[in-house]
């Protein structure tokens, strides 16, 4: 649910990064944070455990520019990926305008991706949203590792509705902005 503020001439949209534990959701946000000019970003907040695992969410506000006199702002959130934090994941999806699913390309995480995608769909439905309708992008992360599943195989299993997909190495920044832009673009298109 975008917030269109005619008084402040601002559009605020929310994008949520979803995916299994340790797939690189926080890394995506960290890269965007480090590469975005000071005047275009707010503070990045990470509510994490002592071992740097996301406990509740990461949050990064970004200002991407002006369109037809309105300042366009995106609020990027990640969910905690670990299975037992499901209650928190559900809360964070509330009011999302777009979702990015970050898949971990490693063979041993194949099942975890599928479970997380199913979990995403369930939690969207509980928030009266749906993967069929919401702007959605798939990112295949960690493509630099040796034990990755071929792209075609991942796509076959994880691509839900012909959404755009991007190969990524989030830790080096590869594919990070492409993924974000593709999702943000879809979100803005829904405002029309």
| Residue 5 is a binding residue for another protein (CB under 8 A) | yes
| Residue 40 is a binding residue for another protein (CB under 8 A) | yes
Phi and psi angles of residue 138, each rounded to the nearest 5 degrees, phi first: -110, 130
Phi and psi angles of residue 93, each rounded to the nearest 5 degrees, phi first: -70, -15
Give the bridge partners for 75, in sequence order: 14, 61
Size of site (CB under 8 A) for another protein = 48
Please give the full DSSP string across 13-25, using - where no structure is assigned: EEEEEE-STTSSH
Nearest partner of 25 among 97, 123, 92, 124, judged by Cα: 92
| Residue 2 is a binding residue for another protein (CB under 8 A) | yes
Site pattern 167..186 for another protein (x: CB under 8 A): ----------x---x--xx-
- Which residues are at the interface with another protein (CB under 8 A)? 1-8, 11-12, 14, 36, 40, 42-43, 45, 47, 56-57, 59, 61, 64-68, 70, 72, 75, 87-88, 91-92, 94-95, 127-129, 133-134, 177, 181, 184-185, 188-189, 191-192
């Amino acid at each position: 649910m975008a917030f269109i503020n005619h008084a402040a001439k601002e559009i605020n949209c929310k994008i949520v990064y979803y995916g299994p534990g340790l797939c690189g959701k926080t890394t995506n946000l960290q890269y965007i944070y480090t590469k975005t000019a000071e005047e275009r970003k707010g503070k990045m907040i990470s509510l994490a455990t002592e071992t740097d695992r996301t406990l509740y969410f990461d949050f990064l506000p970004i200002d991407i520019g002006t369109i037809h006199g309105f300042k366009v702002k995106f609020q990027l959130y990640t969910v905690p990926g670990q299975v037992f934090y499901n209650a928190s994941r559900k809360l964070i999806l509330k009011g999302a305008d777009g979702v990015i699913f970050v898949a971990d390309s490693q063979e041993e995480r194949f099942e975890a991706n599928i479970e997380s995608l199913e979990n995403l769909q369930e939690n969207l439905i509980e928030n009266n949203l749906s993967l069929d309708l919401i702007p959605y992008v798939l990112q295949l992360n960690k493509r630099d590792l040796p034990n990755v599943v071929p792209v075609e195989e991942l796509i076959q299993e994880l691509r839900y509705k012909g959404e755009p997909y991007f190969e990524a190495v989030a830790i080096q920044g590869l594919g990070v902005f492409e993924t974000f832009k593709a999702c943000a673009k879809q979100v803005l298109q829904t405002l029309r």
